[in-house]
Chains A and B, each alone.
Chain A
Amino acid sequence: MRCKRLLPELIILVLTGVTGVTFGARSKVSLDQVGNQVFCQCGCVTTLNRCPHQIWQCESRAEITTIILIDIKQGKSDPDILHDLTARFGVQVLAAPPARGFDLAAWILPGVGLAIGLVVVILIVLRMRRPSPPEPPGQSPVDPKIIAAVEEEMNRTVPLTK
């Protein structure tokens, strides 16, 4: 098993990570960051960081963690690490579908839905809207601005009756 071959190196990497001899702030953050972007393949249906199993109990978590830590040590960026993981496990290791091919639809459609919804709301508003009634003839003894302000406040605070 590849995971077992890599275990000694993994333990060294993890222990240096957890005992304070860190890879530097950026590396430490990247391990957590990448762990949030990939799914563990053990069947726990969660991201690597949330896998309920410990590294020594979960071959999948151990193998993915090993690849990430080695890549980090080699100075690879997050996208490069994700590329390596995809090459090893397939696209299902990613916690979000890649933005290409058919999977692009996953990213586009929520925006399209939002846009279509906006158009529908605007159409509803335009259809339901009516022009303001013309000013009634004659002079009001009270300043129209005051009447408008009172009406508005009444509309806002007092429930309307039909």
Chain B
Amino acid sequence: MNQFGSVGLIAALAFAAYGVVAGVVGGKFRSLKITRSAERAALSFLVMITLSVIALEYLIYTNDFHNAYVATHSNRDLSVYYKFAVMWGGQEGSLLFWTWLLSIYVALVVLLNRRKNRQLMPYAIAFAMGVGVFFSALTFFVANPFQGLSLSSASGMAPFFPPDGNGLSPSLQYPSMLIHPVMLYLGLVGMTIPFAFGMSALATRQLGDNWIRVTRRWMMVPWMFLGAGILLGGHWAYNVLGWGGYWAWDPVENASLMPWLAGTAFLHSVMIQEKRGMLKVWNVSLVTLTFFLAVVGDFLTRTGIVQSVHAFAQSNIGPYFALFLGIVAVVSISLILLRLDFLKSENRLDSVTSRESGFLFNNWILLALVFAVLWGTVFPIISKAVESRTVTVGPPFFDKVAVPMGLMLLLLTGVGPLLAWRKTSFESLKRNFAIPLAIAGAIGIVLLLAGVRSLYSWMSLFLGAFVAACVLGEFYKGARTRQRSVGEGFFPALYNLSARNTRRYGGYVVHLGIVLIFVGFAGLAFKVHAKSVMEPGDLMQAGDYLFRCDTMNAGDTPNYTYVDAALAVVKDGKAFAEVKPERRFYKASQQPISHVAIHRTLASDVYVVLAGRDPGTGKAVIEVFINPLVVWVWIGGIVMVLGTLIALVPSRVEREMAQMRQAQAEALEERNAL
């Protein structure tokens, strides 16, 4: 099966390389036949990589520990669900998984564009397959998951079959780990497609609206996956790591945040090009930057160049990534410079107080944030190179630098939608902002009276109220206008309003999700932390809550041993909840991990960790965090995904326009054929 997997990989590499050549030739000579051949190569690339993935899964599920990857990352008693996660539990498997997702994306592009975007397709395939060449070559030649173990003996090398494997990292044996890496990879890998279309538009000089329209959806999908993946990662960290938080500004976390921020900037600035034909250089640069940052993130995670709790072990793949990033930078910058004449703005900016300007300022903050996060992430490397000593850049730095920028972004989230395209008068500004400001001001005063003294928390809630009032006001005004003009009820009017312009109102829902996430962030200032050693009958106070240890148990399963403690939680003299934190010790990997017990309400989480047993007394070490408002971070994430899905649904107007464009394109093709 090792050979089978390797053959699949080398065949995939061959198809990817052919796809690049056929794409370029098909585009250069405008040959439909050669372009179709490139498309078939892209589909074959998917088939071959899928065969390799099946081979690796087969090796994992049959406990074939002769395979080095399976022996290192799996074991016999690993549950069948987590065996699937072994695929992305290590360097080699996750590279194969990355390549597989890329092949799925490219195949989808091919299948969804059989009759559309014919001029863009040949080069789009070529660029996407170029990325495929890099990843499949890396997987085959440098980090091959199909290596067999062998032992040297007097008669030479002999195959080695260990009785069991080292097991999957315990931190990965958690339900959200089955989804989080998949989401994250779908996001990061998916950034390849907008990049490929952007480069294709440059190569073919088709730099009008079309590539932007095509790219927007291909950007929104991975952007949504990446955002969901980041939040799922936070959810996993919160539930598994046991320190009571969900974001630690770890380099690998930062690596996933940067392309998401750049993608957010693109999704906003792209509207200026669609509506006004402006910022063409900027947009194609942003799409390149987003892809570049996605690969940089992969580079940081996989090479061990920065210290991180999430990073894979140090490996020798760094130079290959550096070379690939260099090629991407040179090719994309060269193409942009060569096509500057085709990237001129079609319109001028009418006023500083306009939506165009709002988007520009939004892009400014987003990219400044990207720079700050990147700078903080790589500063230890720079410092080591310059001063030959190691410094650490952790949460205190990012909290001071990034949080103010985040709050500025939150403000713009509310301001932007209320600005008109082209020009907004002072009267209009007053009219649109008076009510939201009044609501936010009232809430701000209430918060001060309620004793909220943390500036960042107060700002988050004040600005959150402002943005929510702005966005909900837009829904209300739109529905009321429709109610008056069409005579519908309020809720049908609200539904029809959103259906007519899904992109706009889906975007507003995304903004509401961001507000909810910031509400969750605001709770961080009111965290309560307590720690105690306990045995049955002991009590501990944390904030308004009293904890009583009732029982302690120990047990054994084939995969791990465990100890747990049952605690009764009392609030205001009444029974509030029962929690049961657990500490596991995984036999194969010889590593412990806590399974946190969380009692969630909309107001706060009661978060209880069984950190271990005191070696002297045998008592349980119990750590408690009272985390206000955390649940709003997860609710906000769900709302954001929902908003993105709404925005992805073609609106009625868009569907009609797409049909018209399709008819025009077909007529043009027929005329050209004649």
B248 at the interface (CB under 8 A from A): yes
Q: 8 Å CB contacts to B: which residues of A44-77?
A: 44-47, 49-50, 52, 54, 56-57
- Secondary structure of the A side of the interface? helix
Q: Find out whether the CB atom of A157 lies under 8 angstroms from the CB atom of B478.
A: yes
Q: 8 Å CB contacts to A: which residues of B317-363?
A: 345-346, 348-352, 355, 357, 360-361, 363
B424 at the interface (CB under 8 A from A): yes
The residues of B that contact A39 with a CB separation of less than 8 Å are 392, 394
Contact pick for A152, options B248, B393, B423, B614, CB 8 Å: B423
Q: 8 Å CB contacts to B: which residues of A94-126?
A: 94-97, 101-103, 105-107, 109-110, 113-114, 117-118, 120-121, 124-125
Cα–Cα distance between A93 and B390 once the two chains are bound (Å): 9
* A-binding segment of B147-155, B221-229, B238-246: B238-246
Q: Find out whether the CB atom of B372 lies under 8 angstroms from the CB atom of A97.
A: no
A50-B245 contact in complex given A95-B397, A155-B422, C-beta closer than 8 Å? yes
> B300 CB to closest chain A CB, in angstroms?
13
Binary per-residue interface labels of chain A (125-158) against chain B in the complex, 1 for a CB within 8 Å, 0 otherwise: 1001110100000000000000011001101110
The residues of B that contact A156 with a CB separation of less than 8 Å are 355, 418-421
Binary per-residue interface labels of chain B (384-423) against chain A in the complex, 1 for a CB within 8 Å, 0 otherwise: 0011011111111100110001000000000000111111
> B474 CB to closest chain A CB, in angstroms?
9
- Total count of chain B residues near the partner, CB < 8 A: 74
A162 at the interface (CB under 8 A from B): yes
Q: Find out whether the CB atom of B375 lies under 8 angstroms from the CB atom of A96.
A: no
A30 at the interface (CB under 8 A from B): no
B653 at the interface (CB under 8 A from A): yes
B166 at the interface (CB under 8 A from A): no
A19-B532 contact in complex given A92-B389, A92-B392, A109-B375, C-beta closer than 8 Å? yes
A90 at the interface (CB under 8 A from B): yes
Cα–Cα distance between A81 and B403 once the two chains are bound (Å): 26
Q: Find out whether the CB atom of B392 lies under 8 angstroms from the CB atom of A110.
A: no
The residues of A that contact B387 with a CB separation of less than 8 Å are 101-102
A9 at the interface (CB under 8 A from B): no
Q: Find out whether the CB atom of B405 lies under 8 angstroms from the CB atom of A114.
A: yes
Contact pick for A159, options B248, B348, B363, B653, CB 8 Å: B653
Cα–Cα distance between A132 and B350 once the two chains are bound (Å): 7
A125-B360 contact in complex given A36-B396, A114-B405, C-beta closer than 8 Å? yes
Contact pick for A92, options B349, B391, B531, CB 8 Å: B391
Q: Find out whether the CB atom of A124 lies under 8 angstroms from the CB atom of B393.
A: no
Contact pick for B612, options A15, A54, A149, A153, CB 8 Å: A54
Q: Find out whether the CB atom of B348 lies under 8 angstroms from the CB atom of A92.
A: no
> B653 CB to closest chain A CB, in angstroms?
7
Cα–Cα distance between A133 and B277 once the two chains are bound (Å): 19
Q: Find out whether the CB atom of A124 lies under 8 angstroms from the CB atom of B389.
A: no
A121-B376 contact in complex given A45-B309, A50-B241, A159-B653, C-beta closer than 8 Å? no
A121-B364 contact in complex given A128-B348, A129-B352, C-beta closer than 8 Å? yes
Contact pick for A18, options B348, B401, B419, B531, CB 8 Å: B531
> B356 CB to closest chain A CB, in angstroms?
8
A97-B397 contact in complex given A114-B368, A159-B653, C-beta closer than 8 Å? yes
Q: Find out whether the CB atom of A110 lies under 8 angstroms from the CB atom of B621.
A: no
Q: Find out whether the CB atom of B364 lies under 8 angstroms from the CB atom of A96.
A: no
The residues of A that contact B308 with a CB separation of less than 8 Å are 45
Q: Find out whether the CB atom of B612 lies under 8 angstroms from the CB atom of A113.
A: no
Q: Find out whether the CB atom of A97 lies under 8 angstroms from the CB atom of B383.
A: yes
Contact pick for A130, options B348, B361, B396, B531, CB 8 Å: B348
B587 at the interface (CB under 8 A from A): no
A80 at the interface (CB under 8 A from B): no
Contact pick for A49, options B243, B346, B351, CB 8 Å: B243
Q: Closest residue to B503 on the A side, CB-wise? A: A159
Cα–Cα distance between A157 and B349 once the two chains are bound (Å): 19
Q: Find out whether the CB atom of B361 lies under 8 angstroms from the CB atom of A121.
A: yes
B275 at the interface (CB under 8 A from A): yes
Q: Find out whether the CB atom of B422 lies under 8 angstroms from the CB atom of A97.
A: no
Q: Find out whether the CB atom of A96 lies under 8 angstroms from the CB atom of B350.
A: no
Q: Find out whether the CB atom of B405 lies under 8 angstroms from the CB atom of A97.
A: no
Q: Find out whether the CB atom of B529 lies under 8 angstroms from the CB atom of A32.
A: yes
A47-B394 contact in complex given A52-B241, A97-B383, A113-B371, C-beta closer than 8 Å? yes
A160 at the interface (CB under 8 A from B): yes
A160-B421 contact in complex given A50-B245, A94-B391, C-beta closer than 8 Å? yes
> A90 CB to closest chain B CB, in angstroms?
7
The residues of A that contact B478 with a CB separation of less than 8 Å are 157
Q: Find out whether the CB atom of A46 lies under 8 angstroms from the CB atom of B421.
A: no
Q: Find out whether the CB atom of A91 lies under 8 angstroms from the CB atom of B389.
A: yes
Cα–Cα distance between A109 and B275 once the two chains are bound (Å): 35
Most buried by A among B241, B245, B390, B391: B391
A37 at the interface (CB under 8 A from B): yes
Contact pick for B428, options A94, A124, A149, CB 8 Å: A149
Most buried by A among B352, B394, B428: B394
B278 at the interface (CB under 8 A from A): yes
The residues of A that contact B348 with a CB separation of less than 8 Å are 128-130
> B151 CB to closest chain A CB, in angstroms?
31
The residues of A that contact B351 with a CB separation of less than 8 Å are 129, 132
Cα–Cα distance between A32 and B390 once the two chains are bound (Å): 24
> B366 CB to closest chain A CB, in angstroms?
10
> A94 CB to closest chain B CB, in angstroms?
6
Q: Find out whether the CB atom of A50 lies under 8 angstroms from the CB atom of B243.
A: yes
Contact pick for A113, options B309, B350, B375, B621, CB 8 Å: B375
The residues of A that contact B275 with a CB separation of less than 8 Å are 159-160, 162
> A143 CB to closest chain B CB, in angstroms?
13
Cα–Cα distance between A120 and B400 once the two chains are bound (Å): 24
Cα–Cα distance between A152 and B419 once the two chains are bound (Å): 9
> A77 CB to closest chain B CB, in angstroms?
16
Cα–Cα distance between A117 and B364 once the two chains are bound (Å): 6
A106-B376 contact in complex given A148-B425, A152-B420, A152-B424, C-beta closer than 8 Å? yes
Contact pick for A103, options B368, B383, B421, CB 8 Å: B383
- Given A46-B243, A102-B383, 12 extra CB contacts under 8 A: A56-B615, A91-B391, A92-B390, A96-B393, A96-B397, A97-B391, A97-B393, A106-B393, A110-B371, A129-B348, A129-B351, A132-B351
A sample of 10 inter-chain contacts (CB < 8 A) reads: A18-B532, A32-B529, A37-B396, A93-B392, A94-B392, A106-B376, A109-B371, A110-B375, A155-B423, A159-B275
The 5 closest A-B CB pairs, nearest first, are: A95-B394, A110-B372, A130-B348, A128-B349, A96-B397
